[in-house]
């Protein structure tokens, strides 16, 4: 119910905005014009088109700083070979990155380390208008811009399920598969966080396309 509960408080001459409502944790967000520019360029490129498993949706976020202009609901990847459950809500630039990761990294790794084709990716989170790590007063998460995907498990065509929580330190084949999938994601996304990062990520991989001005702009942990 953001339309009724947003209470934006202007701080520091409009540089910082604190948003929230009684039901939701508040967060800090900065004006970031690059997001709209990047999304519009992606949409105009024509590289991301609706398919039976990729549906364009109405804009997200209403009057708040969250959301995306024209997000997509991604119910599958790799030509529909791999299901995403539940479907992920993602902004345009995330779609090609997720597609490349699934086709070039995850599918080959499933065959190589687990001996079976990949059937499904378990989506733990995608769009969510909330602060980082759900901590009150933290910066708005990339999830708030539909610019992030959390994956908790992978299911193979033979029914086997490999989840991040038990597999990261579990069966050697699952460990090898999950590390290959995590490492490979670092070539497609600017942020990749897994169980080695902190306890909050012990049961999922967080993938996003955040922009950073420090270091090489990438975090891979």
Q: Could you list the residues that contact Zn ion (CB under 5 A)?
A: 148, 150, 206
Which residues sit opposite 55 in a β-bridge? Answer: 73
> What is the number of alpha carbons within 13 Å of residue 54 lying toward its C-beta?
22
Instruction: Tell me which residue has its CB nearest to Zn ion.
Output: 206
Rounded least distance, CB 163 to Zn ion, Å: 16
Report which of 154, 157, 130 is spatially closest to residue 28, judged by C-alpha positions.
130
In three-state secondary structure terms, 69 is coil
Residue 114 or residue 148: which is nearer to Zn ion going by CB? 148
Which residues neighbour 65 within 8 Å (Cβ) at sequence distance 6 or greater? 8, 17, 19, 29, 140, 144
Report which of 214, 216, 204, 183 is spatially closest to residue 88, judged by C-alpha positions.
204
Residue 39 or residue 150: which is nearer to Zn ion going by CB? 150
Rounded least distance, CB 143 to Zn ion, Å: 6
Residue 150 or residue 188: which is nearer to Zn ion going by CB? 150
- DSSP 8-state secondary structure symbol assigned to residue 72: E
Rounded least distance, CB 201 to Zn ion, Å: 8
Element (H, E) at 151: strand 148-156
Report which of 158, 193, 179 is spatially closest to residue 106, judged by C-alpha positions.
179
Residue 64 or residue 147: which is nearer to Zn ion going by CB? 147
**Pair 167, 175: CB distance under 8 Å:** yes
Separation between Cα atoms, residue 143 and residue 13, nearest integer Å: 26
Residue 92 or residue 148: which is nearer to Zn ion going by CB? 148
**Pair 29, 140: CB distance under 8 Å:** yes
Separation between Cα atoms, residue 150 and residue 170, nearest integer Å: 20
Rounded least distance, CB 158 to Zn ion, Å: 29
Rounded least distance, CB 130 to Zn ion, Å: 10
Rounded least distance, CB 24 to Zn ion, Å: 17
Rounded least distance, CB 132 to Zn ion, Å: 9
């Amino acid at each position: 119910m953001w339309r009724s509960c947003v209470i934006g408080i202007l701080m520091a001459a409009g540089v910082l905005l604190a948003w929230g409502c009684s039901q939701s944790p508040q967060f800090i967000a900065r004006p970031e014009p690059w997001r709209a520019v990047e999304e519009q360029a992606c949409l105009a490129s024509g590289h991301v088109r609706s398919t039976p498993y990729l549906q364009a949706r109405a804009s997200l976020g209403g009057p708040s700083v969250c959301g995306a202009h024209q997000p997509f609901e991604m119910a599958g990847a790799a030509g529909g070979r791999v299901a995403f459950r539940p479907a992920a809500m993602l902004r345009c630039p995330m779609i090609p990155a997720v597609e490349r990761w699934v086709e070039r990294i995850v599918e080959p790794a499933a065959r190589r380390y687990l001996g079976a084709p990949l059937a499904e990716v378990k989506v733990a989170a995608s769009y969510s208008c909330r602060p980082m790590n759900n901590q009150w007063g933290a910066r708005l998460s990339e999830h708030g811009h539909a610019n992030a995907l959390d994956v908790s498990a992978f299911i193979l065509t033979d029914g086997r399920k490999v989840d991040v929580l038990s597999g990261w330190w579990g069966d050697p084949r699952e460990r090898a598969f999950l590390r290959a999938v995590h490492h490979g994601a670092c070539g497609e996304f600017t942020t990749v966080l897994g169980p080695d990062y902190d306890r909050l990520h012990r049961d999922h991989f967080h993938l996003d396309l955040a922009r950073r001005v420090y270091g090489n702009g990438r975090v891979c942990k």
